[in-house]
Amino acid sequence: MKFDGTDFYAALIHELKNNLGVLSMTLERIPLLGEAEHDASVDSARLLCQNVVDRLHQALLIYKAANQPIHPVLDAYSPHDLVQEIAAGAKALAHGRLHVETSIAGDTPILWFFDRDLVEMALLNAIHNALTHARSTIRIEAEMEAGCLALRVRDDSPGYPEHILESVADGRPYAATGTGLGLQFARLIARSHDNRGRLGELRLGNDSGAVFSLLLP
């Protein structure tokens, strides 16, 4: 029998993702008992599992983006639905440990054009970061800013370290506690959205915590 590397790779990924899917769904079903130690470890297991899942998605996309630029597949989506969807995911991950709030400004358009999967991936990474760093509250927001749709994740953490703010602003790599890929990836996703020459942006800032903003033209 001939051994086909690509097929093997595809089959392996398929199986790993299946197992990971079953694992995450199994974890979802472990009931919380109102018993601090038990609940905390279930919570962290869930969070870690979801983190692995999201990381794997990211890694596969970056693996592809290494050879060719990211081509977003644009379509019309509702920013309102997107914010609700992200918030529902964040709430499930937070398991009542943190407040998840949403706010959709009155000027938010009913439809906007973007690649939903890419944008979701960028926002989910921000949610994971916020879940790690926030003290009590995460806020997901949509509004218009300078003709772009701004999607934000705010938290009440101590804020981004100065060197991260600077590096991301200049598009330079940075030292991070984790892989440090998440924010760079979010920036790539933002910039792959192009509307008649106007590129999307990732803006990081500190307000009363970290503010992650994705600006989509």
Partner 1 sequence: MSQPPAQDNDAFIDYGALRALVVDDSPGMRNALRLTLSNFGITKIQMVANAAEAIFQIKNRSYDFILCDFNLGVGRDGQQLLEELRHGNLIALETVFMMVTAESYYEKVVATAELAPDDYMIKPFSAELLCSRLTGILLRKRAFRDVYWHFQAQDLEASITACDALIHNKPKYAVDALRFKGELLVALGRFEEAEALYQQVVSMRAIPWARLGLARALHLQKKNEAAEEELRDVLERAPEMVAAYDLLSDVCLEKKDVAAAQEALEKGVAISAKTVRRQQKLGEVAYGNGDLDTARTAFDNVLEKGRHSIFVTPADFGNLCRVQLEQGDLEAVADTLKKNKSTLQANPEGQLVMAVTQSIAHTRTGNLSEAAKALDVVAGLRADGTRGDAQLMLDLAGACMANGRHEEADAVVAEVARNAHDSEALLAKAKRLYDEAGRTDAGASVLASATGDVRKLNNEGVVLAQRGDYKTAVEKLLTACSEAPYNPRILMNAVWVILKYIDQVGMDETMIETARTQLREAERQAPGHPRLAGLRLQMKDVETRFGIQRKAVR
Ligand X SMILES: Nc1ncnc2c1ncn2[C@@H]1O[C@H](COP(=O)(O)OP(=O)(O)O)[C@@H](O)[C@H]1O
Contact set with ligand X (CB under 6 A): 125, 129-130, 133, 155, 157, 159-161, 164, 176-183, 210
Interface pick for partner 1 out of 30, 45, 55, 91 (rule CB under 8 A): 91
Using CB under 8 A as the binding rule, whether residue 111 contacts partner 1 is answered as: yes
Q: What are phi and psi of 198, to 5 degrees?
A: -90, 120
Q: Which does 71 bind (CB under 5 to 8 A by kind): ligand X, partner 1, none?
A: partner 1
User: What is the C-alpha to C-alpha distance for residues 193 and 216, in angstroms, rounded to an integer?
Assistant: 7
Choosing among partner 1, ligand X, none, which partner's interface includes residue 179 (Cβ < 5 to 8 Å by kind)?
A: ligand X
Sign of CA dihedral 139, 94, 72, 178: positive
The DSSP symbol for 97 reads S
CB of 214 to ligand X, least distance (A): 13
Place of tokens 């693996």: 63
CB-nearer residue toward partner 1: 52 or 166: 52
Considering the complex, state which of residue 25 and residue 105 has its C-beta at the smaller distance from partner 1.
25
Residue closer to ligand X (CB basis): 93 or 183: 183
The secondary structure of 7-71 as a DSSP string is HHHHHHHHHHHHHHHHHHHHHHHSPP-S-HHHHHHHHHHHHHHHHHHHHHHHHHHHHHHTTS---
Q: Which one of partner 1, ligand X, none is in contact with 113 (Cβ closer than 5 to 8 A by kind)?
A: partner 1
Q: Which is nearer to partner 1, 18 or 208 (CB)?
A: 18
85 binds partner 1 (CB under 8 A): yes
Q: Which stretch binds partner 1 (CB under 8 A): 12-20, 130-138, 173-181, 200-208?
A: 12-20
Q: Which residue is nearest to ligand X (CB)?
A: 178
Of partner 1, ligand X, none, which one does residue 33 interact with (CB within 5 to 8 Å by kind)? none
Residue type, 136: S
DSSP string, 157-209: SS---HHHHHHHHHT-----SS-S-HHHHHHHHHHH-EETTEEPEEEEEESSS
Q: Are 13 and 39 in contact (CB under 8 A)?
A: no
Contact by Cβ (8 Å): 168, 187: yes
The residue ranges that bind partner 1 (CB under 8 A) are 10, 13-14, 17-22, 24-26, 28-29, 50, 53, 57, 60-61, 64, 68, 71, 73-76, 78, 81, 84-85, 88-89, 91-92, 110-111, 113, 117, 195
